[in-house]
Amino acid sequence: MTLKHMWVAAGLALSALMMPSSMAAQGTIKVGVLHSLSGTMAISETTLKDTVLMLIDEQNKKGGLLGRKLEAVVVDPASDWPLFAEKARQLLERDKVAVVFGCWTSVSRKSVLPVFEKNNGLLFYPVQYEGEESSKNVIYTGAAPNQQAIPAVDYLMKDVGVKRWVLEGTDYVYPRTTNKILEAYLKAKGVAAADISVNYTPFGHSDWQTRVAAIKRFGSAGKKTAVVSTINGDANVPFYKELANQKISAEDIPVVAFSVGEEELSGLDAKPLVGHLAAWNYFQSIKTPANDAFIKQWKTYIKKPTRTTNDPMEAHYIGFNLWVKAVEKAKSTEVENVLAALPGLETPNLTGGVAKMLPNHHLTKPVYIGEVRADGQFDVVSKMPLVPGDAWSDFLPVSQDTEADWVTLKCGNYNKKTKVCSGQNYK
Amino acid sequence: MVRTTGPSGGRWLVSLLLAVVLLTSSGAAQAPDDAFRAALAELPTASFVDKEAIAERLLASGHRNAAPVLTAMLEDRLFARNDDNAIVVATAPEDGATTLTLLDPVTLGSAGTSAPDGLTRIGTNNRLRRFLRTAVARFGLENVDPSVRLQAVTEMIRSLDESTVELLEQRLPNEGDARVRTEITFGLALAALDSGEAPERLRAVQTLAARPRSDVRNRLAALIERDAQGAVPEPDEAVRQAAAAAVGSIDSARRRYAAIETLFFGLSLGSVLVLAAIGLAITFGVMGVINMAHGELMMLGAYTTYVVQTLMPDALGWSLPVAIPAAFLVAGGAGVLLERTVIRFLYGRPLETLLATFGVSLVLQQTVRSVFSANNRAVATPAWMSGTLQVNDALAITYNRLYIVGFTVAVFGLVLIVLKRTRIGLEIRAVAQNRGMARAMGIRSQWVDAATFGLGAGIAGVAGVALSQLTNVGPNLGQSYIIDSFMVVVFGGVGNLWGTLIGGLSLGIVNKLLEPYSGAVLGKILVLVALILFIQRRPRGLFPQSGRAAEGL
């Protein structure tokens, strides 16, 4: 065998080796999963990775999509914000995924945003966030402030009669923006500045004695007081412990939280927390046939009957189903076609309502206020019918004239007064 | 309104009662039972507001079982059975029981048992629970246990109305316990502020002046607050003056107690810092080893607490006394191992030691992640450590902090005794001061090195037990305390245990004094900046070592 023959043989062997994989790549639709599987956010995000895998699994059992199987591409951005951008680039440029489900913190979303806009990717973002953003390439399946924070404050104001407000948050972008919106909203409702106290603590704050004593003092002015908590992560545990230790019960000063759900409560003794509130668009305790089926499916898939479901999981469920519908409608997985098909699509959510994709890339969502039960689940005490998500808050002077519309205006940042589209692109 | 229609309403009620009695003379006992049962039957479908109305009806029915049923509702033990929709009361479940023992609410006779799945809980919300708590409190007023009566009175004072005031008035002459009497008198004084008689109001204000409570202050301040027209709610001049004086004295008392509280917060934060730093004061201060894995040794102690608690789930109260020596052994063992395998090859090379121990800290973190998962572990607080010590109306101190202050003092004392009064302590100090001379005296310096490092690491483990009660037990626990620990040791003066104590406590107090004004984030920055400036002026800390000891380092 000559050298030349050897080269040809090697080439043939190589191409034979590569054939199945390239055939498979053509045969499957790749779905990117961009959730931290290690580091501080792993606690919350691992669950979401498993949710997407479960949904893909189920879709494949139904015969896949457009006659092709779905294939998950899972990467681990390790709770490291710049790494999120790097992994997103890898998913879009190397793996050529059709869609990505991912991110949890706002800072990770901001980190991947330019990558998705540059590569014209498609990201489904499943977590409640501070708003003030609408990208062509991102579908926000979590709550905007008007679907969580504002209704919660309304409930406390009207049904509980709260007159004094403590806005307690962790020191980063989501609490700061949310509290800015809430402060403006409360003042618009006639709450005096002296009746609002805003405070921030660092991530992982554990010495809450001074803050809780201050809340107690603030609440002793004879007016009904409530705490609106945007405290994030594990700082919540010592916070609630200290509240219980200093004998502040939910009956005296209720705390309504936007980042504490079933998953966060599953790891701790919920008895001292009974009666404190959370506002979400989904609770595991809501009884509907769809929810029962989802919970059962999740527990079977994860093989652990004690696991809970939560709001961001439902957001992924809705987002995945919307994407499937859009692909079927467009008969293509091309991002441009899917994006064109998405607005106006509807899919049932898990609590008996309908999630409709709005032109601003947000959803219609019901709002539930729940009180913590001793078993770590929530009793729904108030329900608001479907609220359309508003990307740009009407209560902040900088954004009240701004509108997002990707159907008629083709703009995520359109000023209604000046009729100028500043563009949400980060280019 | 109620007052004026009272007599006629009363007469109407009497005639109605008569009619009821006449009509049901045969089954007089049945009627209240039926009404009671009918009211209960509405519960499963009722809204929270309706439930409150139903609870009110149950209360007004005077049925003998109103108290146990409402208590069960408050404690989440009232259920609707799914099979027949009957309302049942579950007895408080025993630990580990999979089925609930059920009682019939009307007869309190047995109603069989059921798995929790077969029952739907009658849910409550904050408002309903508050109502139920007051309602149930009334039944506690006649209890034989004075503490139950005291709690009942306290609960009733929170929502005073005509009926509760009447109950309190009836109870006062029969009350034997002094504390309960004081509380009742206080409640009646609060109610008397609305009385029509000026002398009575004056007496009430004088009684209330001694109670520095915020609700009292607000009530009294409301009496003398001028509205938009300049009118004052309180018509009597003497009462107004007394109220103004009372508000002033309450305010100053509350300010005083708030200052004491802040001081205690500082003390408790300081003692946590000291506790975290004592171990480091030994390894860094006495041996001169920069141990970056010190925080992870604390983490090991905290995880030991978790393991001890999972091993003895039935004796939560004893878990901490068991965990303290266990954590000392685990962390101390890890420390000796670390010293024998890594650090002893690096004595006198601080940079390499720093890097090596930093690596060890990462290894320990990852080990814990692999063994226990990356999620935080829930460490329970024993009952004797939760709650507050109510010193008086304005000052309450949380037990967990109080115990930790005491614990720090004990650990500090013990370490001091070991170093100053025992043979091993003498050897440790000897080796630290002059290794060559100590060896010449026949001290096995290598053995002493291992023991010293083990002691420091063990103390870190013990600190971890305390931290498990204050913060989250996770792989990152150590990282959040390592900087603070070094800060305390450097500030206090390297090699001086008393410096560590004073340094830690003063850093804690300064931090807490600043926090209300600057916030937690800025407060910490200010303390750090101040510390840097201080170290510039006095590089050897608060209490620098002098003489031969200093040369030894």
Domains of chain A by start residue, with CATH: 27-143+291-365 (3.40.50.2300), 146-283+368-388 (3.40.50.2300)
What was the pLDDT predicted at B425?
Answer: 92
Mean pLDDT of A31-43: 85
Q: What is the DSSP string of A5-64?
A: HHHHHHHHHHHHHHHHHHHHHHHEEEEEEE--SSSTTHHHHHHHHHHHHHHHHHHHHTT-
B window 354-383, beta carbon within 8 A of A:
374-378, 380-381
**DSSP-assigned states of every residue in B234-260:** ---HHHHHHHHHHHHHHHHHHHHHHHH
- What distance in Å separates residue B40's CA from the closest CA in chain A? 20
The Cα-based distances of B35 to B17, B19, B106, B206 in angstroms read 14, 16, 10, 47
CB contact under 8 A, A211 and B520: yes
Quote the mean pLDDT of chain B.
86
> What string of DSSP letters covers A98-118?
SEEEE--SHHHHHHHHHHHHH
For the ranges A281-285, B94-98, B214-218, the lowest mean pLDDT is seen at B94-98
Mean pLDDT of B289-312: 94
pLDDT in tens, B83-114: 888 888 888 776 666 788 888 888 888 888 88
Counting one residue from chain A and one from chain B, the pairs whose CB atoms sit within 8 A come to 107
Q: Which residues pair with A346 in a beta bridge?
A: A356
Candidates A79, A172, A207: best to mutate against B (most CBs of B within 10 A) is A207
Q: For residues A66-95, b (16+ Cβ closer than 10 Å) or e, as one string?
A: eeeebbbbebbbebbeebbbebbbbbbeeb
Query: Are A213 and B387 an interchain contact pair (Cβ–Cβ within 8 Å)?
Result: no
Q: Which of A75, A79, A82, A83 is nearest to A100 (CA)?
A: A75
Contact B474 A254 (CB under 8 A): no
pLDDT surpasses 90 at B147: no
Around Cβ B207, how many Cβ atoms within 10 Å?
18
Q: Is pLDDT at A315 greater than 90 in this prediction?
A: yes
Q: Which pLDDT does position A267 carry in this prediction?
A: 67
Cβ proximity of B490 and B535 under 8 Å: yes
Is the Cβ pair A209, B398 closer than 8 Å?
A: yes
With CA atoms as reference, the chain A residue closest to B373 would be A43
- pLDDT for B260: 94
- The most confident of the ranges A203-207, A339-343, B287-291 is A339-343
Type of residue found at A296: K
* Residue of chain B nearest A171, judged by CA positions: B521
Nearest to residue B277, comparing CAs of B168, B415, B97?
Answer: B415
pLDDT value at position B4? 39
Tell me the residue type at B520.
Answer: A
pLDDT score recorded for residue B553:
44
Rounded to an integer, what distance in angstroms lies between the CA atom of residue B199 and that of residue B215? 22
Are A234 and B376 within 8 A, CB to CB?
yes
Tell me which of B361 and B386 has the higher pLDDT: B361
| Closest chain B C-alpha to A388 CA, distance in angstroms | 27
Q: Left if phi > 0, otherwise alpha if psi is -120 to 50, otherwise beta: which for A352? A: left
Cα dihedral A342/A347/A349/A350 (nearest 10): -130
Mean pLDDT rounded to a whole number for chain A: 89
Greatest Cα pair distance in chain A: 97
* Closest residue of chain A to B270, computed from CA coordinates: A207
Q: pLDDT digit string (tens) for A369-425?
A: 999 988 889 999 999 989 999 999 988 888 888 888 999 888 888 888 888 887 654
At residue B7, the pLDDT reads: 41
Mutate to test the interface with A, among B77, B117, B121, B126 (most CBs of A within 10 A): B126
State residue B10's pLDDT score. 45
CA atoms within 13 A on the CB side of A402: 22
Distance from the B211 Cα atom to the nearest Cα atom in chain A, whole angstroms: 15
What is the reported pLDDT for A328?
Answer: 95
Counting residues of chain A whose pLDDT is more than 90, the rounded percentage is 66
Distance separating alpha carbons of residues A185 and B549, to the nearest angstrom: 64
Model pTM?
Answer: 0.84
Q: Binning pLDDT at 50, 70 and 90, where does residue A263 land?
A: confident
Statement: residue B549 has pLDDT above 60 = no
3-state SS assignment for residue B360: helix
Cα–Cα distance for residue pair A351/A315, rounded to 1 Å: 12
| Contact yes or no for B476 and A247 at CB 8 A | no
d(CA B285, CA B496): 7
Percent of chain B at pLDDT exceeding 70: 92
Q: What percent of chain B stands above pLDDT 90?
A: 36
Least confident of A206-220, B340-354, B371-385, B539-553: B539-553
**pLDDT tens string A404-413:** 899 988 888 8
In three-state form (DSSP H/G/I as H, E/B as E, the rest C), the secondary structure along B463-476 is: HHHHHCCCCCECCC
User: Least CB-CB distance to A267: which of B125, B222, B376?
Assistant: B376
Reply yes or no on whether the pLDDT at B21 is more than 60: no
Q: For B411, which DSSP code?
A: H
Task: Give mean pLDDT, residues A268-294.
Answer: 91
CA torsion angle for B84, B85, B89, B90 (degrees, to 10)? Answer: 70
The yes-or-no verdict on residue A154 having pLDDT over 50 is yes
ipTM: 0.82
What is the domain class of B264-552 according to CATH? Answer: mainly alpha
Q: Looking at residue A6, what is its pLDDT?
A: 56
Rounded to whole angstroms, how far apart are CA atoms B243 and B246?
5
DSSP summary character for residue B379: P
Burial of A181 (0-12, 13-18, 19+ CB in 10 A): buried
Least confident range from A34-48, A169-183, B503-517: namely A34-48
Mean pLDDT confidence for B180-199? 86
For residue B17, what pLDDT band results from cuts at 50, 70 and 90? very low
B268 touches chain A (CB under 8 A): yes
Nearest one of B272, B427, B466, B291 to B361, comparing CA atoms: B291
